[in-house]
DNA sequence: ATGGTTTTTACTGCGTC
DNA sequence: GACGCGGTAAAAACCAT
């Protein structure tokens, strides 16, 4: 039963070769920062490109036939694939395909096979579970524009949760979501709990609860999200200049050194920094639009950005 | 459950285009 | 007059205890 639609991914489609370009700012070498999903200048730290997102298939099809032709169904074989769909069922009746009963010899053989198949099958219930979870993870990750490696990480987290029997009493969706949340943070491309909630089928409170649980049980170390890691995303949806974006980062670094930020929401800080940077570089933005893209209230932006500017002042004075 | 902290909501006043 | 911004008070959400 070979399915003609099953093809392996074609080897080596357009590998990402950008390493040799030079920084527009200072002509230094560009470096891929895998962790953040960014291309950064090695010299001045300027972020040239951020957050590559999954735009779906690289091919286009103009009619159904062509689509069949070009479509490579299924994920590439990685952590993200559960079992390739190769499971077996053995009938319980001691009969052959024609309904004749089997010899005792045959019967014993079938008995043994059933036993083993059953063993595999208990594993299968897990696999089934996994399959669904991986689907969810993939869906959410791509809705959030998270890079491949985050999905991988999320998958791994989910597998571990499954292996450690953390699932009973918790929904597959909940744990998948928590895995995505954790993975994104670990990878340095965090999404806020609100953003996560947007694409999940589960409520925020449950996500938070499950997340904490999973983190604790798995002994995962996830440090609080760095405000800076939100900057590129906000900056690009606001179409800010690279200069302003860089400014926002330095603002945050100063604030960090002065310890202004503990206890405050990283997203709020990032949003405020972005807004402040726009002000400092004379780029037109309003608190309203920043608050929109960052999903943070204007009030919070106001409060934070005052603090940021103060911190900046304090630093130059000292 | 409770209390403290942060964020949000809603509203008001001020200056400018 | 609408818009952007600043401030405030009270509510809601969050967190640790």
pLDDT score at A77 = 47
Q: Which residue is nearest to nucleotide C4 (CA to C1')?
A: A286
Sole residue written with tokens 């730290």: A45
Closest C-alpha among A87, A83, A86, A181 to residue A132: A83
Q: Please, which positions of strand B sit below 7 A from a protein CB?
A: 5-10
pLDDT at A121: 62
pLDDT per residue over A95-143, tens digit each? 777 777 777 787 787 787 777 766 666 667 788 889 999 999 999 999 9
Q: What integer best gives the mean pLDDT of chain A?
A: 77
| Distance in angstroms (rounded) separating the CA atoms of residues A23 and A43 | 8
Residue-wise pLDDT tens digits, A219-276: 888 888 899 999 999 999 998 999 999 999 999 998 888 877 777 899 999 999 999 9
**In this predicted structure, what is the pLDDT of residue A6?**
35
Cβ-based contacts with strand C at under 7 Å: A 193, 204-205, 208, 285-288, 299, 302, 306
- State, as a whole number of angstroms, the distance between the CA of A267 and the C1' of B10: 23
For residues A76-82, average pLDDT? 52
- Give the CB-side neighbour count of residue A94, counting CA atoms within 13 A: 12
3-state secondary structure (DSSP) of residue A205: helix
Q: Is A20 helix (H, G, I), strand (E, B) or coil?
A: coil
Higher pLDDT, A65 or A73: A65
Nucleotides of C under 7 A from a protein CB: 3-9, 14-15
Those residues with Cβ within 8 angstroms of residue A137's Cβ, 6 or more apart along the chain or in another chain = A80, A151, A154, A155, A158, A176, A179, A180
Q: Choose between A69 and A116: higher pLDDT.
A: A116
Q: Which residue do the tokens 């527009």 mark?
A: A24
Say how far A300 CA is from B4 C1', in Å: 19
Residue A38 belongs to what H/E stretch? strand A38-41
Separation between Cα atoms, residue A46 and residue A41, nearest integer Å: 5
Helix (H) or strand (E) holding A32: strand A30-33
Look up residue A137 and give its two tokens: 């993870």
The pLDDT, as a whole number, for residue A235 is: 92
Per residue in A1-49, pLDDT (tens digit) is 433 333 333 333 333 334 445 555 445 555 555 444 556 555 444 555 4
Q: Which of A303, A232, A302 is nearest to A50 (CA)?
A: A232
- A312 pLDDT higher than 50: yes
Domains of chain A, each with CATH number or no CATH: 15-49 (2.20.25.10), 125-218 (1.10.472.10), 227-317 (1.10.472.10)
Which alpha helices (H) appear in A27-171, and where do they start and end? 64-70, 104-143, 148-163
Q: Please determine, for residue A149, whether its predicted confidence score (pLDDT) is greater than 60.
A: yes
Whole-number pLDDT of residue A113? 77
Rounded percentage of chain A residues whose pLDDT exceeds 90: 43
CA separation for the pair A138, A124 (Å, rounded): 20
Q: How far is the CA of A274 from the C1' of C17 (A)?
A: 36
């Amino acid at each position: 039963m070979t399915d003609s639609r099953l093809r392996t991914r074609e080897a080596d489609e357009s590998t990402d070769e950008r390493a040799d370009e030079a920084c527009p700012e200072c002509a230094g070498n560009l470096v891929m920062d895998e962790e953040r999903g960014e291309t950064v200048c090695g010299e001045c730290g300027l972020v040239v490109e951020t957050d590559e997102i999954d735009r779906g298939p690289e091919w286009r099809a103009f009619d159904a036939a062509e689509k069949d032709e070009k479509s490579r169904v299924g994920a590439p074989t990685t952590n993200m694939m559960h079992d390739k769909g190769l499971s077996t069922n053995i009938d319980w009746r001691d009969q052959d395909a024609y309904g004749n009963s089997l010899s005792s010899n045959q019967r014993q053989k079938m008995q043994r096979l059933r036993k083993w198949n059953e063993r595999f099958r208990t594993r299968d219930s897990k696999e089934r579970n996994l399959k669904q979870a991986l689907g969810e993870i993939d869906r959410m990750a791509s809705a959030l524009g998270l890079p491949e490696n985050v999905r991988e990480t999320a998958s791994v987290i989910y597998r571990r949760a499954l292996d450690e029997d953390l699932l009973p009493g918790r929904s597959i969706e909940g744990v998948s979501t928590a895995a995505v949340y954790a993975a994104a943070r670990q990878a340095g491309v965090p999404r806020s709990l609100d953003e996560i909630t947007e694409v999940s089928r589960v409520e925020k409170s449950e996500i938070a609860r499950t997340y904490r649980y999973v983190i604790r049980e798995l002994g995962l170390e996830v440090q609080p999200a760095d405000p800076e890691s939100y900057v590129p995303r906000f900056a690009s949806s606001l179409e800010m200049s690279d200069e302003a974006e860089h400014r926002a980062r330095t603002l945050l670094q100063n604030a960090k050194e002065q310890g202004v930020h503990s206890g405050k929401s990283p997203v709020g800080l990032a949003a405020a920094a972005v807004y402040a940077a726009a002000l400092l570089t004379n780029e037109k933005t309003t608190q309203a639009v920043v608050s929109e893209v960052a999903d943070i209230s204007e009030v919070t932006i106001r409060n934070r950005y005052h603090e940021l500017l103060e911190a900046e002042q304090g630093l130059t004075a000292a």
